Every structure is written in C-alpha cells, then in structure tokens.
Structure 1
C-alpha cells in the first residue's frame, strides 16, 4: 500500500487524516499496541488503510521515527492482540518508509473480506466486547446505524455474487469435474465417494493466507500443510488446465479491444487485475524464469464496458503516469 509524502510550501503534509489514513508522531508499546490494532480493525471494517508513524501531531510535518524501537517490535505480538480481542484475523503488513533522509513506520491493512469484525473481549476502557469498530474521517469509533446497515447490505450482496460465481465456475468446469471440500463436516467429496478428515484436524485447521504470519505450533495457530504431490484423490484426467480458465495473453486483449500496449498496461494497473483470481494468473516455466501473465475471457467485457465511459482511459493513463513519477522520485532518493 503506497503512501506519498506530498508537502505544501510550509513543509506540511497536504493529505489529511481520513477514513483510510491515521498519523502518529511516534511508535509506542504497551496498551498503545491495542489502540493500533483497534484502528487497523476499524479500517478493515471500512475500505482498508494505513497508520503512518513519524508525523508530527500539529501541524502534520514529517519528522521520522526511531527505527530501533520499530524494528524491535515483534509483529507476532500485534497479531496475537488481534486474534485475542477480535472475532477474526485481518490482512496487514508492517514496513519502513523513507523520505527526505528520514525513516517512517507504516502499518497497512486491507479491507476485510468478511465483515463485520467484532470485538470479542473487554479491555479496560480501550475495547468493549460486542463492539464493531469502524474508521470514520480521522477517528476510529463504534459503528453507527447507517454504516452498519450499509455494511450488512453489502455483505448480503457479496454472498449473492459469490453464489453466482460458484455456479459460473461449476458451469465452466463441468459439474462432473468438481470436488467439494466441506470444512464444517471435514469431508472432501470426490465423485460418488468421500474422503474424511479427522475432527481433531478440522477443528485446528488454519489456512495460510497472504499477509498472515505463520508461527510454530507452540506459539501460533496450528496449520495444516500439504507438501508434495497428492495422488489418488482426484483423477488427473479431469483436472482443468489453466489455459482453459485463463486462455488470453495481454496481446489477445489488446487486439480485441483495439488498444495499444501502454493503454492496456495502464488499465490493468488501475483495476489491480494482476493477482485477482477472477481475471488473472501467472505461469512460470522455471524457478528463475519471468512469469507469463494469462487472463480470463471474463476480463474482456469488463474493460470494454469501462471504456465506454469517456474519461476512463484518460484517467487510467493520468494516474499511472503520476504513479511512475513518484516511483522514480523514490528510487532517486534511495
């Protein structure tokens, strides 16, 4: 998640605190970690966001932080706080940013895929059991009715879309080629048979997701790892090749939509297509080889529909150009 240090003539940061941005002058331990976790959860319940450390309170000027204290903090400590006090984990990251010869801390969090995240435990006057924390403009507090209703309505709509996507995938792959993993009963349905997982494994099952910390069994959540080739579960003859799900190269999309390579690059960047399993996958022919980017047929009508909006392509190109210039500035400063 990028943060741009854009200053005015007085060297004040132009961007103000908002629903996705919070400034802290310094990084502190103790109960402050709970406050940071609360802010991250509030942002995850909204659209995601970031906390930037090393910004003077008033006025907002970049002063930097002591990286020693920042480096010494164990990310697993914050992760444990989130697991202890909230109903589910969130996808977050910690890193150091550099600007004008100074270093800054960043805690960034993505929008949660499953909302709302609920506080599961009281903590002094900091957290209340059953509360849903939500990031408003420049503050994190318990969610109000309008935002809660909107959040729940969106979750209902997302569930409908998820059902539609599952049905579309089944139609694309073919009902006979689909195997289902029931994490509730611990059953993998393969054809007319079932493979059962022991309940003791299912109860402790924790999937590894991008952005999560994987700890040892003594310190963290137990993780089921499948290593190597799995034989005998699914007939290899019914496995759908990636070329069938993602048949298009960038050149194919460019030709179909009558775009030049740069225009398509700007659009794919703007829409954050790479990494979105609905539209994109990577194929590597070797460990050291560059990835080959493949795209699904579903991406073409999406881009085509957006191109009909007169300013869409122009905005994509403009935003991508600004992004590249900022990246070049950062490289020069390093």
Structure 2
C-alpha cells in the first residue's frame, strides 16, 4: 500500500470504522490487499512512520469513492459480518428463503454446527482462497434456509472454536461468528478471513474428512485438496508480497527512516543515532515469532529473546546477557498451542531459573537433536539459581519422577468422566482446581490426549486470579508426558 493509502486507513480507523469496512475500500480484484494489513497498520507494525490523513483528505477520498461506486454499492462498503451483508446472501422465492447464489467458492452451507473434520476443512479451504461464509441452518443441496435444529452454534464458546483451530490448522485462520434470523429460521454464520500467510495446512487428521498435512481449497460448490495451479498461485502471491515488503524496507533504509545492523561489527546505524551490540552476543540474538494465536487482539508480533542494551564501544566489556527472557507462561503456552520454537534448549534452560518445577519438557526435548544423556549432562552443567527445579527436570527426563497422581473426591469423579469420553471444562471457575487435579491421573494410554491440550489452555486462560495455576501447570505436564509416551510407543 502507498503512504497515502496508509494515511487514509489510519484516519478511517481513528473514526471508529471496523477493519473489514476499511479493507473494503482498498481491496481490488487487480490488487488484492490482505485484511491482515489493516490490522498491522492499526497496531503500528506496518509503516508506523506514516501519519494519518487529515479530515479534508479523508472526506475527499470518501466522496470520490462513493461517486465512482454508487451504482455498485448503494449503501457503501459493509463488513462481511454485518447483518445487512449476510441478509443479502439470501432471497425469498415464493414462500421459501434460499441462498441467493447457492454454494460458491465463497459460501458453504451446512444444516447444523458441530466440531467436525468437515467444518475445520471448510474453514481451511476458505482461508486458502478468498475467505467467505459458512452458513449453518441451510439444507445442503437445496440451499434452503431450514434453520438449525439444535443450539450448538448459539452456545458455542468462541475460545473453544479457536482452540480446535489451533490444534488442527497452521497458520490459524481468523473466524468471526454471527447469528441471524432469516424467514423466522435460526441461521448461524462463520465468516472466515483470507489468510495472509496461506497456505493453511492441516496439522493432524480428524476422521476421514481432515487429513494430516493436507492443504484444502474452496472451489465452487466444494472444498477439496488443493490443485497444483491454485497452490502455485498462493506461492506466487506470497513471493510478490515478500518482494514488495523488501522493496519498502529498502526504501526506508535508503531514505534513513530505517536502521541497519552490521552482523560483522555489531554496529546498528539509524538516522537519529547508532549503538553497538557486543560481538559475543551476535550469534545468540534471535527473533522469535510469538504470535497471539488464541485471541483476536491483533496480528502476530516479534519479541527479542535476550537482553540487548544500547551501549557505546567503550562500555561493551561491561554488558553481558545473563539469560534469555523466556517466561513460565511462554513455556506452558507454546506447548499448549503446539508451537515449534527457534531455540528449544533455551526453553529447558529457562526452567532452571524458576521455582515452578511443573512445566512441559518433552515438547521441547523432541525439537532437539540431542540424546537424553547429552541433555541431562547439559542441564547438570548449568549454574542454575534454582537447583531443585533443574534436578526435577533431570528426574523427569530419566523417568524417575512424573506428574501422574490420583486424587479422591471431586477430582476422581471428573477423571471417571474423562475416561468415559465426557470431556469439557467446567462452567464454574471454582471447579477449575478439581478439573486440573483430575487431569493429573490420566493414564499413559489415554487415546484422546490430543483433545485435552485445548482444554488445559482454556483453563489457563480462565484462571485470571491464578488460584489454580500450579495445578494447571502440572496438568499440562501430564499431557506432555502422555503425548511423549504415545509417540515413543508408535516409533518403537
């Protein structure tokens, strides 16, 4: 996007316009703009040095746009999640309401919502194409608005939907939920945004409808595995965006608006000044993508791992990195989200600096090319400020200590429900502790362990007062152990 367009976007956002509405003004058939770009402008991660347009410039742009598009959009651009927009997808034929254009490459119809491979596949397919709507309460084939026959969609917890997407898809699509009434019938709508970092890939299988490693694409009337032509187009689009972003960055550097780092000397140069990074630190500095994968606060962000200080050349010898800034929350969250990390060994080292001894280890150990013996030797060689925590990691690596534990009372009853296939986080937050305690008793051969991870994540997010934090962390460790045990069983 040009600087003028970025300025207009900032002015629109300042007026309180929704991201989707702003995106509508700048996304054209001959130049597709990702909706994520609007989010990046909003949070300042893209072209943050460009100022917002003034009121007169914005008014002139809107007037010109309305004049040029009056015949096409008499009401002006609308968000795909606006009720009026969704209602326009339907039309009444005699006494029955139908989906106006039927199933297209942007609309898929289903009668009822359920957590199924078909729904997750549909979301992935739309995200890999141009985005679109999944309509529930519509009879497949006839495309008539019959209404949903249960309340699963209306009682759907958005965080649970997102947890399932995190478990099964990468990168995770953005999905919005809307409920409307068409002709007296309840219709549920999931709007899926086109993903700016497509292709979205299935991480694991679910029945026969979702296959691990598959890339799905929404074609007219069907969602199926992507064909070579469409996959090539996605790759070419990503390359074009990368070239455009590279050109923009080089322009900023050439104009002095951006800083550069000399990896040989550690010198960082910018228009307003410069600083030096100790040469000894250069090999260990890394930028780890720690995106906001479970909420809708904004696009992924970049966090620097390591303490980098702006210093003069004379002060370099006095500044050193003590340890990487990896928090217990990032250790637990990356496991629950199934994220791969750039330096998994650092996530194990970090655990030796905290009093908490119940944090996942196998998720990170499996990302290393080290044997257990080498890993234990490495940990033993650390000058850890919490030796008890370090020793606990070693005991768990050696198999002499486990998060497994059976409790009586309410946790035992919840555990019985789990073993019977009844898995859901209690609605009463007061029971989170008992729920977490119950997870400690899951056996090594518990088949549905992959479905437990998003439940633990939900517990973690709901424990705002941190009253059950220790129990939840240990529950995550138990899940980590079981997943490792089952993985080892498969490869034996």
Q: TM-score range by the shorter chain?
A: 0.5 to 0.7
Post-superposition Cα deviations, 1:276-318, rounded to whole Å, max 9, x if no partner, equal: xxxxxxxxxxxxxxxxxxxxxxxxxxxxxxxxxxxxxxxxxxx
Could you say if the C-alpha distance between residues 67 and 84 of structure 1 is closer, same or farther in structure 2, counting changes exceeding 3 Å?
Answer: same
What secondary structure sits across from 1:7 in the alignment? strand
Task: Give the conservation status (yes or no) of the 8 Å contact 1:40–1:109.
Answer: yes
User: Is 2:287 the counterpart of 1:182?
Assistant: yes
Indicate the residue corresponding to 1:38 in structure 2.
121
RMSD: 3.6
Hey, what's the Cα distance between the residues in 2 that align with 1:70 and 1:115?
Answer: 27
Instruction: Give the CA deviation at 1:61.
Output: 1.9
* 1:117 counterpart residue number: 200
Corresponding residue of 1:199:
326
Partner of residue 84 from structure 1, selected from 167, 191, 198: 167
Would the aligned equivalents of 2:179 and 2:188 in 1 still touch at CA under 8 Å? yes
Q: Is the 8 A contact 1:48 1:109 kept in 2?
A: yes
Using the TM superposition, give the Cα deviation of residue 78 of structure 1 relative to its aligned residue in structure 2, in angstroms.
2.2
Shift of 1:172: 7.0
Q: Who is 2:105 aligned against?
A: 19
CA deviation vs aligned residue, 1:84-114 (integer Å, no higher than 9, x gap): 1222211111120233333310011101111
Shift of 1:123: 2.6
Q: Name the CA shift for 1:219/1:144 in 2 (closer, same or farther; >3 Å).
A: same
CA spacing shift, 1:219–1:14, aligned 2, 3 Å: closer
Alpha-carbon distance in 2 for matches of 1:48, 1:33? 19
Q: Do the aligned partners of residues 57 and 217 (structure 1) sit closer, same or farther apart at CA in structure 2, a change above 3 Å counting? A: closer
Further displaced range: 70-79 or 192-201 = 192-201
Q: Report the CA distance shift for 1:174/1:165 in structure 2 as closer, same or farther (over 3 A).
A: closer
Identify which of 54, 61, 64 aligns with 2:147.
64
Aligned to 1:256: none
1:191-241 deviations in Å (ceiling 9; x for gaps): 5589985134666678xxxxxxxx99852788xxxxxxxxxxxxxxxxxxx
* Structure 2 Cα separation of the partners of residues 135 and 124 of structure 1: 20
Gaps of 5+ in 2: 1-79, 260-269, 275-284, 290-303, 313-318, 335-453, 462-492
Secondary structure at the aligned position of 1:199 is classed as coil
Q: Which position in structure 2 is the counterpart of 1:166?
A: 249
- CA shift, 1:190, in A, is 6.6
Match of 2:458 among 219, 224, 227: 219
Residue-by-residue CA offset, 1:169-199 (whole Å, 9 max, x unaligned): 5547453269999336615767558998513
Shift, 1:121, TM fit: 1.4
* 2:209 aligned with 1:104: no
Pairwise mapping of residues 184-333 of structure 1 onto structure 2 (< 5 A)? 186-187=305-306, 191=310, 198-200=325-327, 218-219=457-458
Is the 8 Å Cα contact of residues 249 and 258 (structure 2) preserved in structure 1? no
Distance 1:153 1:58, change over 3 A: closer
CA change 1:172–1:26 in 2 (3 A) is farther
Does the C-alpha gap of structure 1 residues 36 and 163 become closer, same or farther in structure 2, counting only changes over 3 Å? same
Bigger Rg, structure 1 or 2: 2
Q: Alpha carbons of 1:192 and 1:112: their partners in 2 closer, same or farther (altered >3 Å)?
A: farther
Would you say the 8 A contact 1:181–1:189 is kept in 2? no
Deviation at 1:37, TM superposition (A): 1.3
> In the alignment, is the contact (CA less than 8 A) between 1:96 and 1:106 conserved in 2?
yes
Q: Report the Cα offset of residue 62 of structure 1.
A: 1.8
Q: Which has the higher helix share?
A: 2
Higher mean alpha-carbon deviation, 11-20 vs 110-119, is at 11-20
**Contact 2:130–2:194, Cα closer than 8 Å, also in 1:** yes
Cα deviation for residue 135 of structure 1 reads 1.0
Is 65-74 or 191-200 further displaced after alignment?
191-200
The CA distance in 2 between the partners of 1:221 and 1:18, in whole Å, is 39
- Identify the range of structure 1 (175-184 vs 87-96) with the bigger mean alpha-carbon deviation: 175-184
Offset, 1:57 = 2.7
Q: Is the 8 A contact 1:24 1:56 kept in 2?
A: yes
Other structure's SS at 1:22 match:
strand
Higher RCO by CA contacts (8 Å cutoff, separation 6 or greater): 1
The correspondence for 1:142, drawn from 194, 215, 225, is: 225
